[in-house]
Chains A and B, each alone.
Chain A
Amino acid sequence: MTITEKILAFHSGQKEVKPGQFILADVDIALGNDITAPLAIQEIEKLGKEALPYPEKVVLVADHFTPNKDKESANQCLKLKNFAKKFNVKNFFELGCGGIEHALLPEEGFIIPGQLIIGADSHTCSYGALGAFATGVGSTDLAFAMLSGKIWLKVPESIKFIYNGKLNNWVTSKDLILYTIGDIGVDGADYKAMEFEGEAIRKLSIDARLTMCNMAIEAGGKSGIIAPDEITIEYINQLPITNYQLPILKSDKDAKYAKTIEYDVSEIEPQVAFPHLPSNTKSVSQAGNIELDQVVIGSCTNGRLEDLRIAAEILKGKKVHPYTRTIIIPATQKIYLKALKEGLLEIFINAGAVVSPPTCGPCIGGHMGVLAKGEKCLATTNRNFVGRMGDSQSEVYLASPAVAAASAVKGKITHPEEIISG
């Protein structure tokens, strides 16, 4: 069996499961946010329920339109808070104690290798970075999981992606995943588990692995997963959690895959996905002269400490281009504080960037950096669909924090090498 099949077999009380099989599986963590949880809450209230059987398994995060952008979004967040109070959900993260959910949950110790996590948010697949099975579902699934502790799932086939070789300078996990999506397309892994393997993956930090698994959904994947190793264990051990058992989990040698795809990462350059699909990728050196009105560094894809450090390395002592608004969003309060203590925020502010509180904000075109008609933005986020960041005639380009920071300085899409060596 693959690692994914093993986790699903364990959680559905079976010795073995096969791709295509429908199972009812036990959920370890069920996540909802200010957009998706209100619908789930409405379902639960319609049934007249007074209590949840496993409130400790529920995590609610107000992150999408917070700090509340208008009356309606304030109302959505209030529904979360009232529900958390009434149903004794301790893991409710209000503005100021949390941040963007997919950066927050690993950091708070909710994700443990071998677990089964569902979230009413498509980027729940991020948590595969820690060797958990994690997948995005809808609000009704969330309501059902909150009430029953279970989820219906089709056991996915897996695709194995092997990344051999050494990464070039300025090439990050964001470039690997953009390159992969460019190669297989936005439905290249539809319904499948994407298992990331190989020498280059083993060297990635957990921050970088989270970036990679975060974008599995952008290839249509049901989940992304990286088998836990020493780096995973080291990460888990520094978290304030106790009472957990770390299973030794990996795919069997004779596990079956829908296919295996191998890449030589030494051939991969920093990537940029052009509008309006994440699969529309090119090497940055091939981007041509794309002038930018805005740069955003943040989101659940690339708003973690490692990302901010890379951005700071490039922005240190420089100024962002006067016509390129630059918005930097630490993904959680903890990351914000660490960035502050390390002096990163000072570098950003001196460079003329604005530092926003943790929020999804511009990533979803909500607030804190919405684009005007005809504007172009390069962002470290994960989607560049039509109108994703504002006006339906604006454009979003996706890239790594290194490319984003370099591009902010030049005011156009730029390879980081041009800034650091020139």
Chain B
Amino acid sequence: MIIKGKIHKFGDNINTDEIIPAPYLVTTDIKELGKHCMYGIDSSFITKVRESDIIVAGRNFGCGSSREHAPLAIQGCGVALVIAQSFARIFYRNCVNVGLPILISDEIYKSIKPDDVLEADLSKGEIKNITQNKIFQVSAFPSLLQEIIEAGGLMKWYLLNKFET
């Protein structure tokens, strides 16, 4: 899977209230959630983001509540990949479960400039910074998670497996 898009950079500890403020949690519609994505930190984000764009952030991205609305809002506004120095735990698992690709990289965060364009080859773990003409290698997912992501998320993985029910 190849993802190519412009980056949007955020700092450390971006929390789920910033990604999707609580007053917008009254829906489960992903397009609707997408309309308020990042509203808590940058109310104009939604006017700048384009289909297939990439969020690059610092440490502990997605901390705070367990709301799956956060990765859904990110998907809903068109963002195809999130790269951060580290992710908060529940956010990380929610991304795996809904099939939003995420990558961990210190180097990308540190070297990225506003409006850079990245091209990510997820199966190879290879990220190209097209604007700066640099290539980065990131580590692959643990096998159980890889299996879930390859299935297209946790519910699809559920259907592929036989659980004793």
Contacts and interface: CB of A to CB of B under 8 A. Distances in A.
A75 B40 CA distance: 24
B88 A190 contact: yes
A42 B163 contact: no
Interface string B121-148: 0000000000000000000001111001
A279 B153 CA distance: 34
A76 B86 contact: no
B144 A22 contact: yes
B17 A388 contact: yes
A46 B98 CA distance: 14
A421 to B, nearest CB: 38
B1 interface: no
Contacts of B28: 38-39, 42
A73 B23 CA distance: 10
Contacts of A121: 65-66
A190 B86 contact: yes
B155 to A, nearest CB: 5
B73 to A, nearest CB: 12
A220 B40 contact: no
B105 interface: no
Contacts of B89: 190-191, 220, 222
Given A73-B26, A385-B64, A387-B40, A136 B90 contact: yes
A138 B64 contact: no
Interface in B50-68: 59-60, 63-68
B18 A122 contact: no
A138 B60 contact: no
Given A72-B27, A277-B13, A187 B97 contact: no
Nearest to A39: B28
B165 A149 contact: yes
Given A138-B94, A139-B68, A365-B22, A144 B155 contact: yes
Contacts of A277: 13
B26 A65 contact: yes
B88 A187 contact: yes
A138 B62 CA distance: 12
B21 interface: yes
Contacts of A164: none
A144 B158 contact: yes
Nearest to B148: A152
Nearest to A43: B155
Nearest to B26: A72
B155 A140 contact: yes
A198 interface: no
A120 interface: yes
Given A39-B68, A140-B97, A152-B144, A220 B153 contact: no
Contacts of A392: 40
A338 to B, nearest CB: 29
A394 to B, nearest CB: 13
Contacts of B18: 385-387
Given A187-B13, A187-B88, A35 B25 contact: yes
Nearest to B72: A39
B13 A144 contact: no
B22 A366 contact: yes
A364 interface: yes
A255 interface: no
A140 B64 contact: no
A137 interface: yes
Contacts of B13: 186-187, 277
A300 interface: no
A53 to B, nearest CB: 4
Contact of B23 (A143, A220, A365): A365
Interface string A170-190: 000000000000000011001
B26 A122 contact: no
Contacts of A47: 155, 159
Nearest to A73: B26
A65 B23 CA distance: 10
B93 interface: yes
B22 A140 contact: no
B75 interface: no
A383 interface: yes
Nearest to A150: B163
17 contacts: A22-B142, A36-B66, A39-B28, A43-B155, A46-B155, A47-B155, A65-B26, A76-B26, A122-B90, A137-B90, A147-B165, A152-B144, A186-B63, A187-B86, A190-B60, A190-B89, A365-B21
Interface of B: 13, 15, 17-18, 21-23, 25-28, 40-41, 59-60, 63-69, 72, 86, 88-90, 93-94, 97-98, 142-145, 148, 153-155, 158-159, 163, 165
Given A150-B163, A387-B40, 13 more contacts: A36-B66, A119-B66, A136-B90, A141-B154, A144-B158, A147-B163, A147-B165, A148-B165, A364-B22, A385-B17, A385-B18, A386-B18, A388-B22
